[in-house]
Amino acid sequence: MDYQETLAYLYEQVPMFQRVGGSAYKEGLENTWALDAHFGHPHRNFRTIHVAGTNGKGSVSHTLAAILQSAGYKTGLYTSPHLVDFRERIRINGTPISKEYVVDFVEHERCFFEPLNPSFFELTTAMAFKYFSDEKIDVAIVEVGLGGRLDCTNIIMPDLSIITNISFDHVQFLGNTLAMIASEKAGIIKAGIPVVIGETTPETKPVFLAKALEVGAPIYFAEENDREDFPGVEYELKGFYQEKNKRTLLTALPLLKEADYRIDEECVREGFAHVVELTGLMGRWHKLHDRPTLVCDTGHNVGGITYVVEQLCQQKCHQLRIIIGMVNDKDISGILALLPKEAIYYFTQASVNRALPANQLYELASEAGLLGKAYPDVKSAVEAAIKESLPEDFIFVGGSNFIVADLLESKIFLD
């Protein structure tokens, strides 16, 4: 099989949450332990930092990777989902895993893993850990896939755990209260390993405190951090929500120094200032076009969209135009209630099975007082918005990772 045939095999043979949703979710770590044992426990061969949370964990993970790369560490980065290419999920010093490695892994190991019937995420986590071990990295930033307690990344024993925040998302698996969701994400807190909590609510803070006390983990709340270890750091990522991610990171970095990481002020500034170039991060308040301005963002739940809308409402422009699509398992009515009514809307759908049909989104949005038209795909929606825009207009594209992915794959934003 070549690379494209291998991806087709993976997408068809192992259930992938990104494409099919809940049917791909497997509770329990039995497959993870089996895969880990088969490959000789590769995650034990490098240091790790574990990052969980409802929103912000991707930005935090990429920025940590950028800082450690700048400090001279051979740094692995495991994140999800990908936007354009599967290989975005597994990187070393910003370079994606090779196509050849992906092909060889599947060809050589399928006789073992096929009888296990692993999920896509279980299999790709095993691939990432084996790749990092084979390449003899120094440290890996490992982003939790979903939740924490039962996530297959939770077999690692990291130097530091980070939980960015808690918001409502994946409630069918993690629980329908913030405390229940926090309890699942607190499952990454381990004995003796410090944990940084980026943001709390009255419901979530007691959960984190209780778990840390139960297992004996030092706990640090970024909201309470008034230290100035790295004053005046400039962050390349410009979304409003990045200020909280920045504070989380600035709380975490001194703890890494205490764990004998060689991190100085110069590499911290370099990592913050050049995270996109160093890691390949995409889709976070990502500007793609001028005159009209076109920005995309992967925020896709109430917590994430709240910050996006706040930033949209502060844009100085002639007309705000919003291209939006969602998947069918999100709090659609909650998100629609947040969106500005003065914008012109282009309702669309991504090219995944989980996408809410554009016409259905249009109807729900109309009931919420949002005016616009429905378009069958992202490309046609963006083309319509650009055609109707004046140079002084502002176009936003978002509502889902998959909408942003379709936008980036279309390349129609290129001048």
Domain layout of the chain by residue ranges: 3-279, 286-410
DSSP state of 229: S
Q: Which residues contact 11 (CB under 8 A, 6 or more apart)?
A: 19, 120
pLDDT value of residue 98: 98
Structure tokens at 204: 């979530």
Mean pLDDT across the stretch 357-363? 96
Contact 361, 332 (CB under 8 A): yes
Sheet holding 95-96, edge to edge: 95-96, 90-92, 75-78, 139-143, 47-52, 160-163, 195-197, 219-221
Contact 403, 378 (CB under 8 A): yes
pLDDT value of residue 173: 59
pLDDT value of residue 413: 59
Highest CATH level, class, for 286-410: alpha beta
pLDDT value of residue 174: 72
Please state, for a pLDDT cut of 70, what percent of the chain lies above it: 94
Mean pLDDT across the stretch 33-62? 96
- Respond yes or no on whether the N-terminal peptide bond of residue 115 is cis (omega within 30° of 0): no
pLDDT value of residue 228: 75
pLDDT value of residue 22: 47
For residue 147, pLDDT beyond 50: yes
Contact 22, 329 (CB under 8 A): yes
Helices (H) and strands (E) in the chain, counts: 17, 14
Determine the Cα–Cα distance for residues 372 and 25; give it in Å rounded to an integer. Answer: 35
pLDDT value of residue 20: 47
Q: What's the one-letter identity of residue 151?
A: D
> Which has more confidence, 319 or 231?
319
Q: Is 170 left (phi over 0), alpha (psi -120 to 50) or beta?
A: left
Only one residue has tokens 């049917």, namely 23
DSSP state of 222: G
- Respond yes or no on whether the N-terminal peptide bond of residue 292 is cis (omega within 30° of 0): yes
pLDDT value of residue 325: 97
For residue 160, pLDDT beyond 80: yes
Mean pLDDT across the stretch 201-209? 95
pLDDT value of residue 11: 86
What confidence tier does 26 reach under pLDDT thresholds 50, 70, 90? low
Mean pLDDT across the stretch 373-383? 97
Instruction: Give the residue from 341, 335, 337 showing the smallest Cα distance to 356.
Output: 335
- How confident is the model over 71-104, as pLDDT tens digits? 999 999 999 999 999 999 999 999 999 999 999 9
pLDDT value of residue 348: 98
Quote the CATH superfamily of domain 3-279: Mur-like, catalytic domain (3.40.1190.10)
pLDDT value of residue 415: 47
What confidence tier does 256 reach under pLDDT thresholds 50, 70, 90? very high
Determine the Cα–Cα distance for residues 205 and 221; give it in Å rounded to an integer. Answer: 9
DSSP state of 106: H
- How confident is the model over 271-330, as pLDDT tens digits? 999 999 999 999 999 999 999 999 999 998 888 899 999 999 999 999 999 999 999 877
